[in-house]
Amino acid sequence: MPTFTDEAVEAHGLTLRALGPDDVPPIARACQDALLQRWLPLPRPYTEDDARFFALDLAPRSLAQGAGIERGIELDGELVGVIGLKSTDWAARTTEAGYWLAPWGRGRGVMTRALCALTDWALDRQGMGRVEVRIAPGNHASLAVARRALFTEEGRLRRAGVTHDGPIDLIVLSRLSDDPRPEVAVGGTSAPTSVKHP
């Protein structure tokens, strides 16, 4: 079974790296945020046990099984969010990105940079031909992130997702391996994506 390469991705002033025990408290704190709870079907209340299961059990298992990969978004040495790939079809070379940002990481263009970095890595280094995102129509912040990362809107899947309020529609956007790439500037200059092996 093919799997994603377990490596840190450094791009656009961010490090996308594997999750570890030290990430459990900030994940638990972030996932209690009302905005994340509105759009993601997270446990209520979200505890450190939930964060520990996600970071130290679910994420490594997904990677080992070839289903996806979860990376912590690190900015200036601090975890500010999580971005990952899931529902991966290695035969079709397709995968789906998902992401969330902690309240203390917002307002700095972090998620657009992270989505660009992970998408480029998946398309250029992992052999994916398509990366898609599925976002609730009312989740304007996440839709703006995908559009800034030059994802193309394809349509709406009716009642394809769920939140605590029940079933919701999802807007599908994608980037293909031969689509144009966004110019991502950090500090006035654009930087290439690099990787570090553990």
* Residues 5-19: tens digit of each pLDDT: 999 999 999 999 999
Read off the pLDDT of residues 68-113 as tens digits, 9 standing for 90 and up. 999 999 999 999 999 999 999 999 999 999 999 999 999 999 999 9
Burial class (CB in 10 A: 0-12, 13-18, 19+), 111: buried
Read off the pLDDT of residues 144-175 as tens digits, 9 standing for 90 and up. 999 999 999 999 999 999 999 999 999 999 99
Q: 97 with 117: CB under 8 angstroms?
A: no
DSSP state of 23: G
pLDDT at 183: 86
Query: How many other CB atoms are there within 10 angstroms of residue 21's CB atom?
Result: 9
Q: 105 with 178: CB under 8 angstroms?
A: no
Phi, psi (5° rounding) for residue 197? -85, 145
Residues 6+ apart with CB under 8 A from 95: 68, 85, 86, 87, 88, 89, 122, 128, 130, 131, 132
Q: Which residues pair with 17 in a beta bridge?
A: 72
Q: Does domain 8-185 have CATH number 2.60.120.260?
A: no
CA distance 150 to 130: 13
CA distance 37 to 46: 9
The pTM (predicted TM-score) of the whole model is: 0.92
Average pLDDT over residues 51-71: 98
Say whether pLDDT at 194 is over 70.
no
pLDDT at 190: 44
